[in-house]
DNA sequence: CGACAACTTGACCATTATCAAGCAAGGTGG
DNA sequence: CCACCTTGCTTGATAATGGTCAAGTTGTCG
C-alpha cells in the first residue's frame, strides 16, 4: 500500500522520513499559529504515503463526472485538469493540478467533475475509505486533509475574482504569473521561462474566454514586450511588473 | 465560552444534545461511506459549540481584508457577504453565507477577503486557536472543520462554472434557484417565495455582472412569466422548469 | 412632504464571441 | 526525403452580449 520514497520524492524536497514520526496532536497546533504555510508540501506527503502510484497517458480520463468517488489523487509529476461540462458542451476547467496538489475530494458518493491528464502524469491514488478511516484516529492526517482541500478552496476563490471581474488581458496575465509561481524557472537575467503543458483551448476554458481571445491576447502581450513566445508552448516573462499590474 | 441552546437552535432543527456525546473516532467513518450529506447541519453545531454569540448591524464589517485572522464565524441568522476588492474598486462577492454556513477559514495569519453583514445578523465567533487546538485531539471536530470548509469549496466550484461559462440569464436563474434551495419557502401551488436580503449591486458583484444587467434580466424573466417581482426584494419563482433549463 | 437611496429603463458603445481563412509544426506514407 | 495530412494556433471581419452613461421612477424614512 505504501509507495516507494523515490516516487514521493518528486513532489517536493522534503525527505520521506520527515513524516515517519507523527506528532501527538498532528499539525493542528501549528495551524493555530498560522505556521503551516512554510511547510506546504507536507500534507501531500502525508496523504500520498497511504496510496499507490499510477500513471495516465496524455488526455486520458482519470475519473469522470458522476462516477463513484472512490479515490483521492496526489499529483507526483505532470499536469491534471479538473473539468465541469454543461449540457451543450460548454466547458469550465476549475483547476490545473500540479505536483503536490491533491484532487478528487468529495463528501458525497459521486464525483462532481471529471479529471483528465493534460500531459503524461504520475499520480498517487489513495482510497477514500482508507483515508477517512485513518483520519478518525490520526490527527496529523486529518490536518493534512484539511490543509489540502483548503488549498483548493483558496485557489478557487482567487479564480472567482479572475472570472467575475478581470479583463481578458488581466486573466491571461494572472494565469501566467500563477503558473510561474507554481512551476516556472527564473534565469540570471530575471526572465522567467514557462513550459505550457496545456493547449490554448484548455487555457481558454480555464480563463472563461475563447481560444481566439487567448491567442490574440498572447500576441498582444508579445507585441508590448511583456512576454516572448519562442514557440506556442513556451513563454518567457520579460516584464513581470507589467504582468503584475495586470494581476492587480 | 459555550453558547446558549436557544441561539444554536436557529441554525437547524438538530437539538443541542445531539452532539453532547462525541463518538470515538468522530464522523470520519460516515464520511468514508459518503453518509455525511444527510446530516449537513451538524458540523456547524460542533464548531458553534466552541464559540460565543455576536451580532452585526446591516452593512457593518465583520472583518477586513488583510486583518489578523483570529476567528472563524458560523452564521446563526441573517446573511453575510464575503468580498474581494481590486485596487480600482472592482468587487467580487465570493459567497453569501446563510445560517449554518461558516466563514473566515485561513491557513495563514491574515484574512484574504473581507466579510460584511448584508442584513442584521447573529453569528457565533470561534477563536481559531481554540478550534485548531481542540481539533488535534477531537476527531469529530476535525471532521466538522473539514466538512464546513469543503462545503465552501463545493459552492466555489459551482460558482466558477457560472462565472466562466454562463450567460446573464443563466447566472440570474442559477442564483435564484440556489437561494431557493437554501432559504426559500414553497407554498401549496408550487410557487417558491424568496426574500432577497441583498441589493442589486450585491447580486451583480456576486454574478460577475453590472447592476443594470441584473435589473434588466429580472425584468425580462418577469415578462416571460418565469418569476414575479411583487417588490424589488421579493421574488416568486413561478416556472421552475424554465429556471432549471437556464441552470443547465 | 421632501430628500435620498435603490432600482429601472433607454440609448449607445466596447469587449469579447463567432465565423471563416490561413499558417506552422509534426507525423506518415510513398 | 518530400508531398500530404492532421492538429493546433493565429489572424481577420463581423456580430452580439453585456457594459457605460444618463435620465427617470419607486420606495423609504425622517
- Per-residue pLDDT tens digits for A203-229: 999 999 999 999 999 999 999 999 999
Interface check for B60 against chain A (CB to CB < 8 A): the answer is no
> Considering only CB atoms, which chain B residues are within 8 Å of A112?
154, 157
Choose the weakest-confidence range: A65-69, A72-76, B134-138. Answer: B134-138
CA–C1' A202–D6 (A): 19
Q: What class does CATH assign to B5-155?
A: mainly beta
Q: Closest Cα to residue B39, out of B51, B26, B27?
A: B27
CA-to-CA dists, residue B98 to A15, B41, B56, B234, angstroms: 43, 12, 14, 17
CA pair distance B155, A219, nearest whole angstrom? 35
* Interchain CB distance below 8 Å, B147 and A106: no
**In the block, residue with C-alpha cell 475563447:** A210
Query: What band does A17 get if pLDDT is binned at 50, 70 and 90?
Result: very low
Say which of A92, A150, A156 has its CB closest to residue B107.
Answer: A150
Q: Any idea what the Cα angle at residue A147 is, between residues A146 and A153, rounded to 5°?
A: 90
- CATH code for the domain defined by A166-247: 1.10.10.10
CA–C1' B71–C4 (A): 36
Residue A45 or B97, more confident: B97
pLDDT of residue A29: 76
- Pull the grid cell for residue B164: 466562466
- What residue ranges of chain B have pLDDT lower than 70? 1-26, 33-41, 248
pLDDT of residue B26: 59
**CB-CB contact of B157 with B172 (8 Å):** no
Interface check for A127 against chain B (CB to CB < 8 A): the answer is no
pLDDT of residue A19: 36
> Considering only CB atoms, which chain B residues are within 8 Å of A108?
34, 37
* B63 three-class SS: strand
**CB-CB contact of A103 with A152 (8 Å):** yes
pLDDT of residue B184: 74
Say which of A86, A152, A153 has its CB closest to residue B165.
Answer: A86
- Pull the grid cell for residue A120: 503524461
Nucleotide nearest to A90 (CA to C1'): C17
Say which of B34, B36, B94 has its CB closest to residue A160.
Answer: B94
> Considering only CB atoms, which chain B residues are within 8 Å of A128?
32
What is the fold of A5-158?
Answer: Jelly Rolls (2.60.120)
CA pair distance A224, A166, nearest whole angstrom? 19
Tell me the sheet residues that pair with A140. none
Q: Which residues contact A17 (CB under 8 A, 6 or more apart)?
A: none
Q: Is the CB of A29 under 7 A from strand C?
A: no
CA pair distance A50, A52, nearest whole angstrom? 7
Interface check for A112 against chain B (CB to CB < 8 A): the answer is yes
Task: Give nucleotides in strand D with any atom < 7 A to a protein C-beta.
Answer: 8-13, 17-22, 27-28
pLDDT of residue A40: 61
B143-202 residues touching A, CB cutoff 8 A: 143, 145-147, 149-154, 156-157, 159-161, 163-165
**CB-CB contact of A94 with B157 (8 Å):** yes
pLDDT of residue A9: 44
* A77 three-class SS: strand
> From the CA of A237, how many Å to the nearest CA of chain B?
23
CA pair distance A36, A44, nearest whole angstrom? 13
Q: Which residues contact B169 (CB under 8 A, 6 or more apart)?
A: B217, B220, B221, B246
Q: What's the whole-number mean pLDDT along residues A183-212?
A: 92
Could you count the other beta carbons within 10 Å of the beta carbon of residue B166?
A: 23
Q: Is the CB of B166 under 7 A from strand C?
A: no
- Pull the grid cell for residue B79: 446573511
- Residue-level length of chain B: 248
Query: What band does A247 get if pLDDT is binned at 50, 70 and 90?
Result: confident
- Pull the grid cell for residue B225: 412569466
> From the CA of A233, how many Å to the nearest CA of chain B?
23
> From the CA of B189, how many Å to the nearest CA of chain A?
29
Q: Closest Cα to residue B90, out of B175, B172, B208, B216?
A: B208
pLDDT of residue B44: 85
- Pull the grid cell for residue B202: 450585491
> From the CA of A67, how many Å to the nearest CA of chain B?
13
Mean pLDDT: which of A47-51, A171-175, B135-139 is highest?
A: A171-175
Nucleotide nearest to A207 (CA to C1'): C16
CA pair distance B149, A192, nearest whole angstrom? 34
CA pair distance A110, A131, nearest whole angstrom? 16
pLDDT one-digit tens code per residue, A132-150:
999 989 999 999 999 998 9
**CB-CB contact of A105 with A152 (8 Å):** yes
Q: Any idea where the domains of chain B sit in the sequence?
A: 5-155, 166-247
pLDDT of residue B31: 75
Q: What ranges in B12-118 are assigned the alpha helix state H?
A: 28-32, 42-48
Q: What's the whole-number mean pLDDT along residues A36-40?
A: 52
Of A residues 124-153, those with CB within 7 angstroms of nucleic strand C are none
Q: What's the whole-number mean pLDDT along residues A159-188?
A: 94
Amino acid at each position: 500500500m505504501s509507495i516507494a520514497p523515490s516516487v514521493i520524492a518528486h513532489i517536493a524536497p522534503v525527505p520521506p522520513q520527515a513524516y515517519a514520526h507523527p506528532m501527538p496532536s498532528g499539525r493542528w497546533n501549528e495551524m493555530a499559529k498560522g505556521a503551516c504555510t512554510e511547510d506546504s508540501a507536507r500534507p501531500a506527503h502525508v496523504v500520498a504515503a497511504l496510496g499507490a502510484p499510477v500513471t495516465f497517458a496524455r488526455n486520458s480520463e482519470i475519473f469522470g463526472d458522476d462516477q463513484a468517488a472512490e479515490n483521492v489523487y496526489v499529483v507526483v509529476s505532470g499536469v491534471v485538469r479538473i473539468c465541469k461540462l454543461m449540457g451543450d458542451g460548454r466547458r469550465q476547467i476549475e483547476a490545473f493540478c500540479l505536483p503536490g496538489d491533491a484532487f478528487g475530494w468529495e463528501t458525497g458518493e459521486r464525483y462532481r467533475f471529471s479529471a483528465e491528464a493534460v500531459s503524461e502524469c504520475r499520480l498517487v491514488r489513495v482510497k477514500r475509505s482508507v483515508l477517512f478511516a485513518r483520519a478518525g484516529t490520526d490527527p496529523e492526517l486529518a490536518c493534512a486533509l484539511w490543509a489540502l482541500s483548503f488549498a483548493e478552496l483558496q485557489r478557487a476563490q482567487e479564480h472567482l475574482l479572475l472570472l467575475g471581474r478581470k479583463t481578458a488581458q488581466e486573466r491571461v496575465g494572472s494565469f501566467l504569473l500563477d503558473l510561474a509561481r507554481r512551476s516556472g524557472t527564473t534565469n540570471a537575467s530575471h526572465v522567467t521561462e514557462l513550459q505550457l503543458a496545456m493547449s490554448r483551448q484548455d487555457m481558454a476554458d480555464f480563463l472563461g474566454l475563447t481560444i481566439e481571445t487567448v491567442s490574440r491576447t498572447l500576441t498582444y502581450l508579445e507585441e508590448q514586450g511583456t512576454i516572448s513566445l519562442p514557440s506556442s508552448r513556451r513563454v518567457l516573462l520579460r516584464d513581470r511588473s507589467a504582468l503584475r499590474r495586470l494581476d492587480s
